[in-house]
Structure 1
Amino acid sequence: MRSAKLMNGRVFAGARALYRAAGVDGKDFGKPIIAIANSFDEFLPGHVHLNKVGRLISEAIKEAGGIPREFNTMAVDDGIAMGHTGMLYSLPSRDIIADTVEYQVNAHCADALICIPNCDKIVPGMLMGAMRLNIPTIFASGGPMRAGKTPGAPHDTDLNSIFEGVAARVIDKIDDAQLEALECTACPGPGSCSGMFTANSMNCLCEALGIALPGNGTIAADDPARVELWRKAAFRIVELAKMENPPRAKDFVTAKSFQNALVLDMAMGGSSNTVLHTLAIANEAGLKVDLKELDRISRMTPNICKLAPSKGEFHIAEDCRRVGGIMAILKEIAKVPGLIDGSAPTVSGKTLAEEYSAAPDPDGTVIRPLENAYSKVGGLAILFGNLAANGCVVKAAGVDPKMLVHKGPAVIFESQEEACEGILGGKVKEGDVVVIRYEGPKGGPGMQEMLAPTSYIMGRGLGSSVALITDGRFSGATHGACIGHVSPEAAAGGLIGLVEPGDIISIDIPNRSVTLEVSDDVLAERRKTWKPREPKIKTGYLAKYASLATSADTGGVLRVGK
């Protein structure tokens, strides 16, 4: 065990003294030290209960014969950070979280790691840190929130219902009392927001990666079954740590498990942010995954499950969990030859196929059988063209069929804030293509989520006639013809920075193309006058982040000397 050097000999007497001072009984020296990477935070409903979860897991680790050592990472609530400068800090927090996990575990010679993430950037940040450490690791998330029960709503509600309600109120589709009812009921308690948004998408992918136990992504935060999952994870991590040659994080996160996770993502129509995060995780794991590989998998994978926001009446804890959860999706999609490698190991000790073989068959409504799939291709699509030479991403599962092919004039906004004001102010009309630029990892800096402008488009009744293109990213709650992650980004000299008002943009999602219909000669002339913009922020962490960040096609990872 890594900790053995600290627990023996005179040289490390000081280290042992400090462990004693921190509450470790000397009689326990020699037991495996299990680092608990928690992310308790009273700002986030997805994390507000994790202090109790950390204590529960800590006690279970002691019971199993380990030494638990808990620490916290930061956690940003994208919903609270949205609409102001706070959102600039969201994506960059992913790298700080990865650094924190790496630092804490290596600095204190922990033998194994159990991660308790839940919301958006915490899951990928911890996964990135775990790849760097490559020690026995299990993920046990805080669990999804239950959907809201809003009087008068046509179906269960969630955070996205509120954002769309704001725009609906602006045009008097609902009144103040109805908006307040949404505010008070759509997010009823602890857990990650209840749709197939980014947090839940990532927690589900952990099951397919084999680094979390079944149910990690779908058992509600307040379900008694969640307690059993946390305890089971705690006992299992101690068991792994005690093995002579234990399986490590990279033994689970392999090329074949990565394909399994990407197939699941396409089959369930996960958040477009999963593309950004899986690229970053693959980078840390030393795996070669790029947008072309994601597009290849998307073209092979039927979309057999739609949850909110793609299908507003279905939510993850109430509906997906009820019909068998992630294992049921994997079981059905595994019938397509070559998609799922069931031999991939999982932290439970079983193969992935052994885990999903016990799952029920598709219910036909929440999870459809292959012969009645929503589409023959995946819920996420990667588009290429002169406007996005290195690629861009759209959640095709959430696009109105009328908008799968669209052509319209560009309406340009130089920031998310400007776009929100313009959309609510009526500057966007039917048929337009909204362009929001200089919002990429470098240009933002921080690549803000665009849930507010996309929700305002939907709330104003323009979802079936207006497209949006940006070098920023979207919330997992976004739906509609919303194309993000345009690479190269405007701040890096991407063509999106040369678009002018009224330019015609053509979008063809089935054929995976996005084109600015302006001649090469005209673009060359525009290029001559284009100049890089001064950084928006010149001090503090965001200035450092902007200087190191790459475009979204590489996951927005940080690279020194790039």
Structure 2
Amino acid sequence: MRSNEIKAGTEHAPHRALLKSLGLDNNDLTKPFIGIANSYNTIVPGHIHLHTLGDAVKEGVIAAGGTPFEFNTIAVCDGLAMGHEGMRYSLPSREIIADSVEIMLQAHRLDGLVMISNCDKVTPGMLMAAARLDLPAIMLTGGPMAAGRFNGKKVSYSSVPEALGQVVAEKMSETELNQLEDVACPGCGSCSGMFTANTMACMSEALGMSLPYCGTTLATSAHKIRLARQTGKQILKLVEQNIKPSNILTIDAFKNAISIDMALGGSTNTVLHLPAIAKEADLTLPLSLFDEISKKVPHLCSMIPSGTYAIEDLDMAGGVPAVMQQIQAELNLNAVTVSGKTLAENIKNATVIDPNVIHPLNNPVHAEGGIAILTGNLAPKGAVIKTAGVSPKMLQHTGPAKVYDSEKEAIIAIRSRQIQPGDVIVIRYEGPKGGPGMPEMLIPTATIAGMGLSESVALITDGRFSGATRGGSIGY
């Protein structure tokens, strides 16, 4: 065991003295040391419940014969950071999270890692650390929040910024907006649509780094507690069998994840996160690979923000395993997973319970995947669009360019109703170099949608978009 470097032999008596000050006894010191990286805090809705999951993981670790050590990482709520200077800190936080997990595991010579995360940059940051460290590791994502209800319809966080556009267009009163904000986010968990947080939770499962059904199980469910306890037990098996991320995070695993991304119509931010994780595993995921897979894998799930179904509906319809079952011809079923089983074994008994949520191959939502890569004179190296959220009316668009040199300028123009149907909004200098920080721009895209312009106005930017973005929005 790697942890013997701080606990075995006479020369490590000083280390043992410190460990015993934690309340450990000699028996605890003979067991594998398991690090639990937890992004729990009390400001991010997706993370406020993670201390409960951490306790369940520790119970599982102890039950399976390990000694758990829990520590924290930072976590940014992109919704709270949106539309102001704070959004410049969101994407860079991913690297700090990866570094902090690496530091804790290396400094304390831990034998295995459980990652408890939930939001946009935290899940990929922790997966980057796992790939970099290449120690036995397993992910537990915290789960989505339940959908809200407003005027008899399901709503989510994305409904609120879109409602701002309705207020600007005088289609909604401020009183109704206040009523909506009271119910849109009814409790803990990652926001309830197929936004970046839930997309990355599903990607973790598709990569084989979390247990089956983990990606869609509700934050408030007893099933999530059971999964947490099971995750704590499973890390000991991974340590015992020395199953490491390098055994799991292969090029075939990443192709599986991209395929699931296309079937789900996930966030365009996967084109930033999956390649970053792959890079830590010494692999390369070119943009062309996303486009290649998109042309082969159909879009099967019409999820919020572009569709009507929340993550809770996907979970009840069969979850990620059921989606995998539908597109298994496009997957590498021999892929190794943290369950100790192959992907084929994981999805063997998966079934689609509701074909309205997970469409069959002969009746897809769209014939091609939910993300497309575009190239042209504006973006010779490629740009990204979430085709799952684009109206058929916007597949071709010509119009005058309204050019703004920052997101703030564009928002002022949109809210002052300077944008007309047919326009093309261009937002410059918000990319990784110009930004800095490559901020997400949900406020302009959501305001456009709320004003009823998402089928007649395009937006092009060197910045990036929230997973909640829909419409003719081309970024990256």
TM > 0.5 fold call:
yes
Q: Which residue of 2 aligns with 1:480?
A: 471
- After superposition, the C-alpha distances for 1:253-286 in whole angstroms (9 at most, x for unaligned) are 1111110000000111000001110111111111
- After superposition, the C-alpha distances for 1:389-422 in whole angstroms (9 at most, x for unaligned) are 1111100010011001111221111111111111
Tell me if 1:325 matches 2:319. Answer: yes
Question: Structure 2 counterpart of 1:474, which letter?
Answer: F
CA contact 2:56–2:232 (8 Å) conserved in 1: no
CA contact 2:323–2:358 (8 Å) conserved in 1: yes
Q: Which residue of 2 aligns with 1:469?
A: 460
Q: Which residue of 2 aligns with 1:346?
A: 337
- After superposition, the C-alpha distances for 1:459-484 in whole angstroms (9 at most, x for unaligned) are 11111100001111111011101111
Question: Structure 2 counterpart of 1:84, which letter?
Answer: H
Tell me if 1:446 matches 2:437. Answer: yes
Q: Which residue of 2 aligns with 1:208?
A: 206
Question: Structure 1 counterpart of 2:240, which letter?
Answer: K
Q: Which residue of 2 aligns with 1:113?
A: 113
CA contact 2:194–2:267 (8 Å) conserved in 1: yes
Distance 1:23 1:119 in 2: 33
Q: Which runs of 5+ in 1 are unaligned?
A: 486-562
CA contact 1:164–1:459 (8 Å) conserved in 2: yes
Distance 1:379 1:217 in 2: 18
Question: Structure 2 counterpart of 1:354, which letter?
Answer: E
Tell me how far 1:374 sits from its aligned partner: 1.6
Question: Structure 2 counterpart of 1:323, which letter?
Answer: A
CA contact 2:316–2:353 (8 Å) conserved in 1: no
Work out the percentage of aligned pairs sharing the same amino acid.
50
Q: Which residue of 2 aligns with 1:282?
A: 278
Q: Which residue of 1 aligns with 2:351?
A: 360
After superposition, the Cα gap between the structure-2 partners of 1:325 and 1:55, relative to the gap in structure 1 and judged at 3 Å, is same
Q: Which residue of 2 aligns with 1:66?
A: 66
- After superposition, the C-alpha distances for 1:490-520 in whole angstroms (9 at most, x for unaligned) are xxxxxxxxxxxxxxxxxxxxxxxxxxxxxxx
- After superposition, the C-alpha distances for 1:315-343 in whole angstroms (9 at most, x for unaligned) are 011x10111010111100114xxx20111
1:409 to 400, 404, 414: 400
Tell me how far 1:27 sits from its aligned partner: 2.1
Question: Structure 2 counterpart of 1:359, which letter?
Answer: A
- After superposition, the C-alpha distances for 1:1-56 in whole angstroms (9 at most, x for unaligned) are 11122221232222221111223222211200000000001110100011222122
Q: Which residue of 2 aligns with 1:533?
A: none
Distance 1:18 1:414 in 2: 55
1:315 to 299, 310, 318: 310
Distance 1:362 1:389 in 2: 43
Q: Which runs of 5+ in 2 are unaligned?
A: none
- After superposition, the C-alpha distances for 1:412-470 in whole angstroms (9 at most, x for unaligned) are 11111111111111121111111111111121110111100000101111111000011
1:427 to 418, 429, 435: 418
Q: Which residue of 2 aligns with 1:94?
A: 94
Which deviates more from structure 2 when the two are superposed, residues 118-127 or residues 60-69? Answer: 60-69
Q: What TM-score do the two structures reach when normalised by structure 1?
A: 0.83
Tell me if 1:170 matches 2:168. Answer: yes
- Higher relative CO (CA 8 A, sep ≥ 6), structure 1 or 2? 2
Tell me if 1:253 matches 2:244. Answer: no
- After superposition, the C-alpha distances for 1:122-172 in whole angstroms (9 at most, x for unaligned) are 00000111111001111011111000012x25x200000011111111222
SS of residue paired to 1:149: strand
CA contact 1:149–1:186 (8 Å) conserved in 2: yes
Q: Which residue of 1 aligns with 2:77?
A: 77
Distance 1:360 1:172 in 2: 45
Distance 2:458 2:425 in 1: 6
Q: What TM-score do the two structures reach when normalised by structure 2?
A: 0.98
Distance 1:476 1:55 in 2: 30
RMSD: 1.1
Extract structure 1 runs of 4+ deviating beyond 4 A.
none
Report the count of equivalent residues: 476
SS of residue paired to 1:140: strand
Tell me if 1:218 matches 2:209. Answer: no
Tell me if 1:455 matches 2:449. Answer: no
Question: Structure 2 counterpart of 1:328, which letter?
Answer: A
SS of residue paired to 1:359: coil
Tell me how far 1:364 sits from its aligned partner: 2.4
Tell me how far 1:362 sits from its aligned partner: 6.3
After superposition, the Cα gap between the structure-2 partners of 1:362 and 1:388, relative to the gap in structure 1 and judged at 3 Å, is farther
Distance 1:13 1:342 in 2: 48
